[in-house]
Chain A
Protein backbone atom coordinates (compact mmCIF):
# COMPACT_ATOMS: atom_id res chain seq x y z
CA UNK A 1 0.00 0.00 0.00
CA UNK A 2 1.38 3.37 -0.92
CA UNK A 3 1.43 6.12 1.63
CA UNK A 4 0.23 9.68 1.58
CA UNK A 5 0.85 11.51 -1.65
CA UNK A 6 1.84 8.44 -3.56
CA UNK A 7 -0.44 5.57 -4.43
CA UNK A 8 0.42 2.24 -5.99
CA UNK A 9 -0.22 3.41 -9.54
CA UNK A 10 1.53 6.77 -9.34
CA UNK A 11 4.76 7.12 -11.32
CA UNK A 12 6.70 10.17 -10.25
CA UNK A 13 8.19 11.51 -13.50
CA UNK A 14 8.99 15.01 -14.72
CA UNK A 15 6.75 15.19 -17.79
CA UNK A 16 4.42 17.69 -19.46
CA UNK A 17 1.50 15.35 -18.70
CA UNK A 18 2.39 15.20 -14.99
CA UNK A 19 2.55 18.99 -14.90
CA UNK A 20 -0.99 19.48 -16.24
CA UNK A 21 -3.53 20.48 -13.59
CA UNK A 22 -5.53 17.44 -12.43
CA UNK A 23 -8.95 18.76 -13.42
CA UNK A 24 -8.05 19.00 -17.12
CA UNK A 25 -6.61 15.49 -17.05
CA UNK A 26 -9.68 13.98 -15.37
CA UNK A 27 -12.03 15.62 -17.86
CA UNK A 28 -9.87 14.61 -20.84
CA UNK A 29 -9.75 10.99 -19.63
CA UNK A 30 -13.51 10.91 -19.09
CA UNK A 31 -14.32 12.42 -22.51
CA UNK A 32 -11.86 10.13 -24.25
CA UNK A 33 -13.43 7.09 -22.58
CA UNK A 34 -16.93 8.25 -23.54
CA UNK A 35 -15.87 8.58 -27.19
CA UNK A 36 -14.33 5.10 -27.09
CA UNK A 37 -17.45 3.52 -25.57
CA UNK A 38 -19.74 5.35 -28.00
CA UNK A 39 -17.83 4.19 -31.10
CA UNK A 40 -19.67 1.39 -32.97
CA UNK A 41 -17.78 -1.88 -32.53
CA UNK A 42 -17.68 -2.52 -36.27
CA UNK A 43 -15.36 0.48 -36.86
CA UNK A 44 -12.33 -1.64 -36.09
CA UNK A 45 -9.65 0.72 -37.43
CA UNK A 46 -10.95 3.58 -35.23
CA UNK A 47 -9.88 1.62 -32.14
CA UNK A 48 -6.41 1.32 -33.65
CA UNK A 49 -6.40 5.12 -33.90
CA UNK A 50 -7.37 5.44 -30.24
CA UNK A 51 -4.57 3.07 -29.26
CA UNK A 52 -2.08 5.24 -31.15
CA UNK A 53 -3.36 8.32 -29.34
CA UNK A 54 -2.84 6.63 -25.97
CA UNK A 55 0.62 5.50 -27.05
CA UNK A 56 1.47 9.14 -27.78
CA UNK A 57 0.19 10.23 -24.34
CA UNK A 58 2.15 7.42 -22.65
CA UNK A 59 5.31 8.52 -24.46
CA UNK A 60 4.75 12.14 -23.45
CA UNK A 61 4.11 11.09 -19.84
CA UNK A 62 7.18 8.82 -19.91
CA UNK A 63 5.16 5.80 -18.79
CA UNK A 64 6.78 2.57 -20.03
CA UNK A 65 4.67 0.21 -22.11
CA UNK A 66 5.59 -2.79 -19.94
CA UNK A 67 4.44 -0.96 -16.80
CA UNK A 68 1.08 -0.27 -18.46
CA UNK A 69 0.74 -3.85 -19.71
CA UNK A 70 1.36 -5.31 -16.24
CA UNK A 71 -1.20 -3.06 -14.54
CA UNK A 72 -3.76 -3.63 -17.29
CA UNK A 73 -4.09 -7.26 -16.14
CA UNK A 74 -6.68 -6.00 -13.62
CA UNK A 75 -9.01 -6.35 -16.61
CA UNK A 76 -8.29 -10.05 -17.06
CA UNK A 77 -11.64 -11.39 -15.74
CA UNK A 78 -13.43 -9.46 -18.44
CA UNK A 79 -11.11 -10.85 -21.10
CA UNK A 80 -12.10 -14.33 -19.93
CA UNK A 81 -15.74 -13.31 -20.27
CA UNK A 82 -14.96 -12.07 -23.78
CA UNK A 83 -13.40 -15.40 -24.72
CA UNK A 84 -16.63 -17.15 -23.74
CA UNK A 85 -18.84 -14.91 -25.84
CA UNK A 86 -18.18 -16.36 -29.31
CA UNK A 87 -19.25 -19.76 -27.99
CA UNK A 88 -22.29 -18.56 -26.06
CA UNK A 89 -23.51 -15.93 -28.52
CA UNK A 90 -26.65 -16.27 -30.63
CA UNK A 91 -27.49 -15.72 -34.29
CA UNK A 92 -25.41 -16.37 -37.35
CA UNK A 93 -22.46 -18.71 -36.80
CA UNK A 94 -19.24 -19.39 -38.63
CA UNK A 95 -16.88 -22.32 -38.36
CA UNK A 96 -13.25 -21.69 -37.56
CA UNK A 97 -10.73 -24.44 -36.78
CA UNK A 98 -13.64 -26.79 -36.37
CA UNK A 99 -15.32 -24.61 -33.74
CA UNK A 100 -18.75 -23.11 -34.33
CA UNK A 101 -18.55 -19.44 -33.35
CA UNK A 102 -21.29 -16.83 -33.18
CA UNK A 103 -20.58 -13.76 -35.32
CA UNK A 104 -22.39 -11.53 -32.85
CA UNK A 105 -20.37 -13.13 -30.07
CA UNK A 106 -17.09 -12.48 -31.89
CA UNK A 107 -18.01 -8.84 -32.31
CA UNK A 108 -19.06 -8.75 -28.65
CA UNK A 109 -15.73 -10.18 -27.56
CA UNK A 110 -13.87 -7.64 -29.67
CA UNK A 111 -16.06 -4.87 -28.26
CA UNK A 112 -15.28 -5.80 -24.64
CA UNK A 113 -11.58 -6.36 -25.19
CA UNK A 114 -11.07 -3.19 -27.25
CA UNK A 115 -13.16 -0.79 -25.18
CA UNK A 116 -12.19 -2.34 -21.87
CA UNK A 117 -8.47 -2.25 -22.64
CA UNK A 118 -8.53 1.32 -23.98
CA UNK A 119 -10.52 2.42 -20.91
CA UNK A 120 -8.14 0.75 -18.47
CA UNK A 121 -5.10 2.20 -20.26
CA UNK A 122 -6.58 5.71 -20.17
CA UNK A 123 -7.37 5.37 -16.44
CA UNK A 124 -3.88 4.00 -15.77
CA UNK A 125 -2.28 6.97 -17.54
CA UNK A 126 -4.37 9.35 -15.41
CA UNK A 127 -3.42 7.54 -12.20
CA UNK A 128 0.24 7.29 -13.19
CA UNK A 129 0.55 11.01 -13.84
CA UNK A 130 -1.51 12.40 -10.94
CA UNK A 131 -0.98 12.18 -7.18
CA UNK A 132 -3.75 11.11 -4.84
CA UNK A 133 -4.08 14.61 -3.42
CA UNK A 134 -4.22 16.16 -6.89
CA UNK A 135 -6.97 13.77 -8.01
CA UNK A 136 -9.15 14.91 -5.12
CA UNK A 137 -8.31 18.57 -5.80
CA UNK A 138 -9.15 18.00 -9.47
CA UNK A 139 -12.54 16.52 -8.59
CA UNK A 140 -13.20 19.48 -6.32
CA UNK A 141 -12.35 21.96 -9.08
CA UNK A 142 -14.66 20.06 -11.45
CA UNK A 143 -17.48 20.89 -9.00
CA UNK A 144 -17.80 17.39 -7.60
CA UNK A 145 -20.03 17.82 -4.50
CA UNK A 146 -17.81 18.72 -1.55
CA UNK A 147 -19.28 15.96 0.61
CA UNK A 148 -17.61 13.31 -1.60
CA UNK A 149 -14.24 15.03 -1.87
CA UNK A 150 -14.29 15.54 1.91
CA UNK A 151 -15.16 11.91 2.67
CA UNK A 152 -12.47 10.83 0.19
CA UNK A 153 -9.93 13.17 1.80
CA UNK A 154 -10.54 11.74 5.27
CA UNK A 155 -10.58 8.23 3.84
CA UNK A 156 -7.21 8.59 2.13
CA UNK A 157 -5.72 10.34 5.18
CA UNK A 158 -6.61 7.46 7.49
CA UNK A 159 -6.37 4.50 5.10
CA UNK A 160 -2.68 3.88 5.80
CA UNK A 161 -3.18 4.21 9.55
CA UNK A 162 -5.99 1.63 9.49
CA UNK A 163 -3.94 -0.64 7.24
CA UNK A 164 -1.10 -0.40 9.80
CA UNK A 165 -3.57 -1.24 12.58
CA UNK A 166 -4.72 -4.27 10.60
CA UNK A 167 -1.15 -5.37 10.00
CA UNK A 168 -0.31 -5.09 13.71
CA UNK A 169 -3.39 -7.08 14.68
CA UNK A 170 -2.42 -9.79 12.19
CA UNK A 171 1.11 -9.95 13.58
CA UNK A 172 -0.26 -10.14 17.12
CA UNK A 173 -2.49 -13.01 16.01
CA UNK A 174 0.38 -14.81 14.30
CA UNK A 175 2.62 -14.26 17.35
CA UNK A 176 0.13 -16.23 19.35
CA UNK A 177 0.54 -19.07 16.90
CA UNK A 178 -2.66 -18.58 14.99
CA UNK A 179 -2.70 -18.51 11.21
CA UNK A 180 -6.22 -18.45 9.83
CA UNK A 181 -5.99 -20.18 6.49
CA UNK A 182 -9.26 -21.75 5.64
CA UNK A 183 -12.82 -20.68 5.44
CA UNK A 184 -13.77 -22.60 8.58
CA UNK A 185 -11.18 -20.65 10.52
CA UNK A 186 -12.84 -17.46 9.50
CA UNK A 187 -13.76 -16.45 13.02
CA UNK A 188 -10.45 -14.98 14.16
CA UNK A 189 -10.23 -13.03 10.92
CA UNK A 190 -13.71 -11.58 11.34
CA UNK A 191 -13.09 -10.71 14.99
CA UNK A 192 -10.14 -8.60 13.91
CA UNK A 193 -12.29 -6.98 11.23
CA UNK A 194 -14.70 -6.11 14.03
CA UNK A 195 -12.00 -4.54 16.15
CA UNK A 196 -10.74 -2.66 13.09
CA UNK A 197 -14.20 -1.14 12.72
CA UNK A 198 -14.21 -0.13 16.39
CA UNK A 199 -10.82 1.52 15.97
CA UNK A 200 -11.95 3.33 12.84
CA UNK A 201 -15.19 4.54 14.40
CA UNK A 202 -13.62 5.65 17.66
CA UNK A 203 -10.87 7.44 15.78
CA UNK A 204 -13.57 9.20 13.78
CA UNK A 205 -15.12 10.40 17.02
CA UNK A 206 -11.77 11.66 18.31
CA UNK A 207 -10.99 13.37 14.99
CA UNK A 208 -14.35 15.11 15.15
CA UNK A 209 -13.57 16.23 18.70
CA UNK A 210 -10.21 17.63 17.61
CA UNK A 211 -11.97 19.47 14.76
CA UNK A 212 -14.61 20.96 17.03
CA UNK A 213 -11.90 22.05 19.44
CA UNK A 214 -10.36 24.10 16.65
CA UNK A 215 -13.60 25.87 15.78
CA UNK A 216 -15.13 23.45 13.22
CA UNK A 217 -18.75 24.40 12.64
CA UNK A 218 -19.69 22.03 9.83
CA UNK A 219 -17.83 23.78 7.02
CA UNK A 220 -14.46 22.49 5.92
CA UNK A 221 -12.12 24.95 4.22
CA UNK A 222 -12.24 24.59 0.44
CA UNK A 223 -8.80 24.34 -1.12
CA UNK A 224 -8.02 27.62 -2.83
CA UNK A 225 -6.47 28.42 -6.20
CA UNK A 226 -5.21 25.96 -8.79
CA UNK A 227 -7.17 27.17 -11.81
CA UNK A 228 -6.05 25.88 -15.20
CA UNK A 229 -4.98 28.20 -18.00
CA UNK A 230 -6.64 28.22 -21.42
CA UNK A 231 -3.46 26.73 -22.86
CA UNK A 232 -3.60 23.83 -20.40
CA UNK A 233 -7.24 23.15 -21.25
CA UNK A 234 -6.34 23.26 -24.93
CA UNK A 235 -3.40 20.88 -24.45
CA UNK A 236 -5.49 18.32 -22.64
CA UNK A 237 -8.34 18.70 -25.15
CA UNK A 238 -6.08 17.30 -27.85
CA UNK A 239 -6.70 13.72 -26.69
CA UNK A 240 -10.53 13.68 -26.64
CA UNK A 241 -10.76 15.98 -29.68
CA UNK A 242 -8.54 13.73 -31.78
CA UNK A 243 -10.50 10.72 -30.60
CA UNK A 244 -13.77 12.42 -31.55
CA UNK A 245 -12.35 13.27 -34.98
CA UNK A 246 -11.39 9.63 -35.52
CA UNK A 247 -14.85 8.51 -34.41
CA UNK A 248 -16.57 10.97 -36.77
CA UNK A 249 -14.38 9.98 -39.67
CA UNK A 250 -15.09 6.31 -38.98
CA UNK A 251 -18.86 6.70 -38.72
CA UNK A 252 -19.18 9.02 -41.74
CA UNK A 253 -16.57 7.30 -43.85
Chain B
Protein backbone atom coordinates (compact mmCIF):
# COMPACT_ATOMS: atom_id res chain seq x y z
CA UNK B 1 0.00 0.00 0.00
CA UNK B 2 2.63 2.52 -0.88
CA UNK B 3 3.78 4.18 -4.03
CA UNK B 4 7.39 3.04 -3.85
CA UNK B 5 8.43 0.01 -5.87
CA UNK B 6 7.97 -3.20 -3.93
CA UNK B 7 9.79 -5.27 -6.52
CA UNK B 8 13.34 -6.38 -5.82
CA UNK B 9 15.90 -4.79 -8.16
CA UNK B 10 19.03 -6.32 -9.68
CA UNK B 11 22.03 -6.60 -7.37
CA UNK B 12 20.24 -6.89 -4.01
CA UNK B 13 20.53 -10.67 -3.93
CA UNK B 14 23.50 -12.37 -5.59
CA UNK B 15 23.50 -14.28 -8.89
CA UNK B 16 23.43 -17.91 -7.73
CA UNK B 17 20.54 -17.37 -5.30
CA UNK B 18 18.62 -15.38 -7.92
CA UNK B 19 19.10 -18.28 -10.35
CA UNK B 20 18.02 -20.78 -7.71
CA UNK B 21 14.76 -18.92 -7.11
CA UNK B 22 14.19 -18.49 -10.84
CA UNK B 23 14.26 -22.30 -11.01
CA UNK B 24 11.94 -22.56 -7.98
CA UNK B 25 9.50 -20.16 -9.66
CA UNK B 26 9.54 -22.08 -12.95
CA UNK B 27 8.82 -25.41 -11.27
CA UNK B 28 6.11 -24.01 -9.00
CA UNK B 29 4.43 -22.17 -11.87
CA UNK B 30 4.41 -25.31 -14.02
CA UNK B 31 2.52 -27.00 -11.19
CA UNK B 32 0.13 -24.03 -10.92
CA UNK B 33 -0.58 -24.17 -14.67
CA UNK B 34 -1.47 -27.84 -14.36
CA UNK B 35 -3.82 -27.25 -11.42
CA UNK B 36 -5.32 -24.09 -12.93
CA UNK B 37 -6.27 -26.05 -16.04
CA UNK B 38 -8.25 -28.40 -13.81
CA UNK B 39 -10.09 -25.40 -12.35
CA UNK B 40 -10.84 -23.57 -15.59
CA UNK B 41 -10.14 -25.96 -18.50
CA UNK B 42 -10.19 -24.10 -21.81
CA UNK B 43 -11.52 -20.98 -20.08
CA UNK B 44 -8.08 -20.51 -18.47
CA UNK B 45 -6.57 -18.03 -20.95
CA UNK B 46 -9.49 -15.57 -21.17
CA UNK B 47 -10.52 -15.81 -17.50
CA UNK B 48 -7.00 -15.58 -16.07
CA UNK B 49 -6.29 -12.78 -18.54
CA UNK B 50 -9.25 -10.75 -17.28
CA UNK B 51 -8.40 -11.44 -13.62
CA UNK B 52 -4.78 -10.39 -14.28
CA UNK B 53 -6.07 -7.22 -15.94
CA UNK B 54 -8.17 -6.63 -12.80
CA UNK B 55 -5.14 -7.00 -10.51
CA UNK B 56 -3.08 -4.74 -12.74
CA UNK B 57 -5.84 -2.13 -12.91
CA UNK B 58 -6.29 -2.24 -9.12
CA UNK B 59 -2.57 -1.68 -8.62
CA UNK B 60 -2.86 1.47 -10.73
CA UNK B 61 -5.68 2.89 -8.56
CA UNK B 62 -3.93 5.16 -6.13
CA UNK B 63 -5.88 6.57 -3.28
CA UNK B 64 -4.92 8.86 -0.49
CA UNK B 65 -4.34 7.15 2.84
CA UNK B 66 -3.28 10.25 4.71
CA UNK B 67 -2.46 13.69 3.37
CA UNK B 68 0.71 13.22 1.32
CA UNK B 69 0.72 9.45 1.51
CA UNK B 70 -1.07 7.54 -1.19
CA UNK B 71 -1.23 3.82 -1.58
CA UNK B 72 -2.51 1.05 -3.76
CA UNK B 73 -3.50 -2.55 -3.38
CA UNK B 74 -1.06 -5.42 -4.06
CA UNK B 75 -3.90 -7.88 -4.47
CA UNK B 76 -2.19 -11.25 -3.98
CA UNK B 77 -4.43 -12.63 -1.25
CA UNK B 78 -7.43 -10.89 -2.78
CA UNK B 79 -6.78 -12.78 -6.01
CA UNK B 80 -6.46 -16.21 -4.38
CA UNK B 81 -9.60 -15.73 -2.27
CA UNK B 82 -11.56 -14.82 -5.40
CA UNK B 83 -10.16 -17.18 -8.03
CA UNK B 84 -8.26 -19.82 -6.07
CA UNK B 85 -4.57 -20.39 -5.37
CA UNK B 86 -3.54 -21.78 -8.77
CA UNK B 87 -5.21 -19.28 -11.09
CA UNK B 88 -4.38 -16.52 -8.60
CA UNK B 89 -0.67 -17.35 -8.63
CA UNK B 90 -0.64 -17.40 -12.44
CA UNK B 91 -2.36 -14.02 -12.63
CA UNK B 92 -0.04 -12.33 -10.12
CA UNK B 93 3.01 -13.83 -11.89
CA UNK B 94 1.86 -12.56 -15.27
CA UNK B 95 1.39 -9.09 -13.80
CA UNK B 96 4.94 -9.23 -12.35
CA UNK B 97 6.45 -10.41 -15.66
CA UNK B 98 4.73 -7.65 -17.61
CA UNK B 99 5.65 -5.01 -15.01
CA UNK B 100 9.27 -6.12 -15.25
CA UNK B 101 9.45 -6.06 -19.06
CA UNK B 102 7.13 -3.18 -19.87
CA UNK B 103 7.54 -0.90 -16.87
CA UNK B 104 11.11 -1.76 -15.80
CA UNK B 105 9.68 -2.44 -12.33
CA UNK B 106 11.75 -5.15 -10.67
CA UNK B 107 15.07 -6.50 -11.95
CA UNK B 108 15.16 -9.02 -14.79
CA UNK B 109 17.48 -11.25 -12.78
CA UNK B 110 15.29 -10.77 -9.69
CA UNK B 111 12.12 -11.90 -11.48
CA UNK B 112 12.35 -15.36 -9.94
CA UNK B 113 12.68 -13.82 -6.48
CA UNK B 114 9.76 -11.46 -7.00
CA UNK B 115 7.51 -14.21 -8.36
CA UNK B 116 8.48 -16.53 -5.50
CA UNK B 117 7.74 -13.91 -2.84
CA UNK B 118 4.63 -12.21 -4.14
CA UNK B 119 2.97 -14.72 -6.46
CA UNK B 120 3.84 -17.96 -4.68
CA UNK B 121 4.86 -17.68 -1.00
CA UNK B 122 2.67 -14.71 -0.08
CA UNK B 123 -0.42 -16.03 -1.85
CA UNK B 124 0.16 -19.57 -0.52
CA UNK B 125 0.36 -18.31 3.07
CA UNK B 126 -2.68 -16.12 2.57
CA UNK B 127 -4.67 -18.88 0.95
CA UNK B 128 -3.76 -21.61 3.47
CA UNK B 129 -4.87 -19.34 6.27
CA UNK B 130 -8.11 -18.44 4.47
CA UNK B 131 -8.84 -22.10 3.74
CA UNK B 132 -8.22 -22.99 7.38
CA UNK B 133 -10.31 -20.14 8.80
CA UNK B 134 -13.20 -20.83 6.47
CA UNK B 135 -13.61 -24.21 8.14
CA UNK B 136 -14.57 -22.52 11.39
CA UNK B 137 -15.92 -19.11 10.40
CA UNK B 138 -19.43 -18.65 8.96
CA UNK B 139 -19.56 -19.02 5.18
CA UNK B 140 -21.10 -15.58 4.77
CA UNK B 141 -19.87 -12.36 3.15
CA UNK B 142 -18.78 -11.16 6.60
CA UNK B 143 -16.98 -14.41 7.35
CA UNK B 144 -15.11 -14.56 4.08
CA UNK B 145 -14.29 -10.86 4.40
CA UNK B 146 -12.76 -11.41 7.84
CA UNK B 147 -10.63 -14.28 6.53
CA UNK B 148 -9.53 -12.13 3.59
CA UNK B 149 -8.36 -9.50 6.08
CA UNK B 150 -6.31 -11.93 8.15
CA UNK B 151 -5.05 -13.70 5.02
CA UNK B 152 -3.90 -10.42 3.48
CA UNK B 153 -1.97 -9.29 6.56
CA UNK B 154 -0.27 -12.66 6.88
CA UNK B 155 0.33 -12.96 3.13
CA UNK B 156 2.07 -9.59 2.92
CA UNK B 157 4.20 -10.22 6.03
CA UNK B 158 5.18 -13.74 4.95
CA UNK B 159 6.15 -12.46 1.48
CA UNK B 160 8.43 -9.90 3.16
CA UNK B 161 9.99 -12.63 5.29
CA UNK B 162 10.60 -14.69 2.13
CA UNK B 163 12.73 -11.76 0.99
CA UNK B 164 14.58 -11.83 4.30
CA UNK B 165 15.26 -15.54 3.78
CA UNK B 166 16.58 -14.90 0.27
CA UNK B 167 18.73 -12.10 1.60
CA UNK B 168 20.10 -14.44 4.24
CA UNK B 169 21.04 -16.91 1.50
CA UNK B 170 22.46 -14.47 -1.00
CA UNK B 171 22.45 -10.93 0.34
CA UNK B 172 25.24 -8.83 -1.09
CA UNK B 173 25.99 -7.08 2.22
CA UNK B 174 26.23 -8.61 5.66
CA UNK B 175 23.55 -7.14 7.89
CA UNK B 176 22.00 -8.13 11.16
CA UNK B 177 19.34 -10.57 10.01
CA UNK B 178 17.20 -9.95 13.08
CA UNK B 179 17.13 -6.23 12.29
CA UNK B 180 16.04 -6.75 8.68
CA UNK B 181 13.45 -9.34 9.65
CA UNK B 182 12.05 -7.05 12.34
CA UNK B 183 11.98 -3.94 10.16
CA UNK B 184 10.43 -5.77 7.21
CA UNK B 185 7.83 -7.42 9.44
CA UNK B 186 6.93 -4.11 11.09
CA UNK B 187 6.58 -2.13 7.89
CA UNK B 188 4.67 -4.91 6.14
CA UNK B 189 2.27 -5.40 9.02
CA UNK B 190 1.18 -1.79 8.51
CA UNK B 191 0.98 -2.28 4.76
CA UNK B 192 -0.88 -5.54 5.31
CA UNK B 193 -3.53 -3.95 7.54
CA UNK B 194 -4.41 -1.42 4.82
CA UNK B 195 -4.29 -4.12 2.19
CA UNK B 196 -6.45 -6.36 4.36
CA UNK B 197 -9.14 -3.72 4.97
CA UNK B 198 -9.60 -3.18 1.26
CA UNK B 199 -9.38 -6.88 0.40
CA UNK B 200 -11.97 -7.71 3.09
CA UNK B 201 -14.50 -5.15 1.84
CA UNK B 202 -13.88 -6.13 -1.77
CA UNK B 203 -14.38 -9.84 -1.10
CA UNK B 204 -17.49 -9.17 1.00
CA UNK B 205 -18.93 -7.02 -1.82
CA UNK B 206 -18.40 -9.77 -4.37
CA UNK B 207 -19.71 -12.44 -1.99
CA UNK B 208 -22.93 -10.49 -1.49
CA UNK B 209 -23.64 -10.14 -5.23
CA UNK B 210 -22.17 -13.30 -6.75
CA UNK B 211 -21.18 -15.76 -3.97
CA UNK B 212 -20.66 -18.36 -6.70
CA UNK B 213 -17.62 -16.38 -7.91
CA UNK B 214 -15.75 -16.49 -4.61
CA UNK B 215 -13.45 -19.50 -4.77
CA UNK B 216 -12.96 -19.61 -0.99
CA UNK B 217 -16.73 -19.95 -0.53
CA UNK B 218 -17.29 -22.32 -3.44
CA UNK B 219 -14.91 -24.87 -1.96
CA UNK B 220 -17.14 -25.36 1.04
CA UNK B 221 -20.41 -25.75 -0.79
CA UNK B 222 -22.17 -29.00 -0.14
CA UNK B 223 -23.48 -29.17 -3.71
CA UNK B 224 -21.27 -30.40 -6.53
CA UNK B 225 -18.55 -27.79 -6.50
CA UNK B 226 -17.65 -26.15 -9.78
CA UNK B 227 -19.98 -26.50 -12.73
CA UNK B 228 -17.87 -26.03 -15.85
CA UNK B 229 -20.87 -25.07 -17.97
CA UNK B 230 -20.31 -21.97 -20.05
CA UNK B 231 -23.11 -19.83 -18.69
CA UNK B 232 -23.44 -16.40 -20.18
CA UNK B 233 -23.15 -13.37 -17.99
CA UNK B 234 -26.24 -11.21 -18.38
CA UNK B 235 -28.35 -13.86 -20.10
CA UNK B 236 -31.79 -12.37 -20.41
Contacts and interface: CB of A to CB of B under 8 A. Distances in A.
Interface residues of B, number: 76
B222 interface: no
A interface SS class: helix
B108 A29 contact: yes
Interface in A176-225: 180-183, 186-187, 189-191, 193-198, 200-209, 211-212, 216-218, 220
A19 to B, nearest CB: 19
B202 A194 contact: yes
Interface stretch (A52-60, A151-159, A227-235, A237-245): A151-159
Given A123-B101, A189-B63, A191-B205, A88 B107 contact: no
B172 interface: yes
A126 interface: yes
B208 to A, nearest CB: 9
B54 A162 contact: yes
Interface stretch (B7-15, B120-128, B131-139, B154-162): B7-15
A111 B11 contact: yes
Contacts of B91: 151
B24 interface: no
A46 interface: no
B197 A37 contact: no
B90 interface: yes
Given A33-B108, A90-B174, A190 B205 contact: yes
A119 B107 contact: yes
Given A26-B101, A198-B209, A218-B42, 16 more contacts: A1-B60, A29-B108, A37-B10, A37-B107, A111-B11, A114-B11, A127-B103, A148-B93, A156-B53, A182-B65, A182-B66, A183-B197, A194-B203, A197-B206, A200-B50, A206-B232
